[in-house]
């Protein structure tokens, strides 16, 4: 542990650090999907079509809005969401070329090199597919490899078990609960915090690349090795 001239413990030096660039509004190409800046006029109808295939609106329970009955109302809401500093992305399925999910860079902090992935809303067409995992990998790779960020965050309602399981599977480290952090939909939210650091990213990147490789799937499309097992092996 380092100490200053007063004998007080201080953090490790961050040498050569400079403010990082904001994420560009450009697409990211993958094998199974493309992630591109969300444009409501271009993507809303396709996203709404994919969303309404779900039997109910349970995928909206832990998001800031409820499900939308029609595409025009959804487009208007997306207009509001994409007007601020957060960078929303549409996830485009490679096989069909259609938008099937949403994920956003939130709380972008170039000075400290911190960025959050959030507002993840996967339609039933995207859930539990290779593209679903690849989209998360592509956005992480941009943050760490292209832009040089130090910290990548995931936050969710502490009661949102599917989100917490997803964070763990993707290699995020649990950091704790912020109690009474948010009021939304007229109810309390205790927020669970997770993160990945740039020092952890090389091992995770290798695990993602190994999992996404075509050879990791058999003729029926079933994975040969689970992502969590690949991450654990590389961390070890």
Question: pLDDT tens per residue, the chain (236 residues)?
Answer: 899 999 999 999 999 999 999 999 999 999 999 999 999 999 999 999 999 999 999 999 999 999 898 999 999 999 999 999 999 999 999 999 999 999 999 999 999 999 999 999 999 999 999 999 999 999 999 999 999 999 999 999 999 999 999 999 999 999 999 999 999 999 999 999 999 999 999 999 999 999 999 999 999 999 999 999 999 999 98
| Closest by CA position to 230, among listed 93, 133, 126 | 133
The predicted structure's pLDDT at residue 147: 98
- pLDDT, residue 69, reads 87
Cα–Cα distance, 232 to 171 (Å, whole number): 9
β-bridge pairing 114-122 and 99-109:
antiparallel
Query: What is the predicted pLDDT for the residue at 236?
Result: 87
What's the pLDDT score for residue 48? Answer: 97
Task: Let me know how long the chain is.
Answer: 236
Transcribe 167-209 into DSSP letters.
HHHTTPEEEEEEEEEEEETTEEEEEEEEEEETTTHHHHHHHHH
* pTM confidence score: 0.96
Query: What was the pLDDT predicted at 195?
Result: 98
Task: Give the CATH class of 24-235.
Answer: alpha beta
What residue segments make up the domains of the chain, in order of their start?
A: 24-235
What's the confidence (pLDDT) of residue 110? Answer: 98
């Amino acid at each position: 542990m380092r100490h200053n001239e007063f004998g007080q413990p201080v953090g490790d030096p961050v040498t050569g650090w400079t403010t990082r660039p904001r994420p560009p509004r450009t697409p990211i190409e993958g094998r199974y999907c493309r992630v591109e800046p969300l444009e409501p006029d271009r993507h809303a109808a396709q996203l709404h079509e994919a969303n309404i295939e779900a039997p109910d609106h349970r995928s909206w329970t832990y998001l800031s809005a409820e499900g939308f009955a029609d595409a025009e109302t959804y487009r208007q809401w997306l207009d509001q969401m994409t007007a601020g500093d957060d960078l929303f992305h549409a996830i485009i399925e490679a096989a069909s070329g259609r938008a099937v999910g949403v994920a956003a860079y939130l709380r972008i902090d170039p000075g400290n090199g911190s960025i959050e992935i959030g507002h993840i809303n996967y339609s039933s067409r995207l859930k539990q597919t290779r593209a679903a995992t690849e989209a998360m990998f592509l956005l992480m790779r941009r943050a760490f490899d292209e832009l040089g960020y130090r910290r990548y965050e995931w936050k969710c309602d502490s009661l949102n078990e599917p989100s917490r399981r997803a964070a763990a599977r993707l290699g995020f480290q649990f950091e704790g609960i912020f109690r009474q952090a948010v009021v939304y939909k007229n109810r309390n939210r205790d927020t669970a915090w997770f993160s990945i650091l740039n020092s952890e990213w090389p091992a995770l990147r290798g695990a993602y690349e190994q999992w996404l490789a075509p050879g990791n799937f058999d003729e029926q499309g079933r994975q040969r090795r689970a992502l969590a097992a690949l991450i654990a092996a590389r961390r070890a």
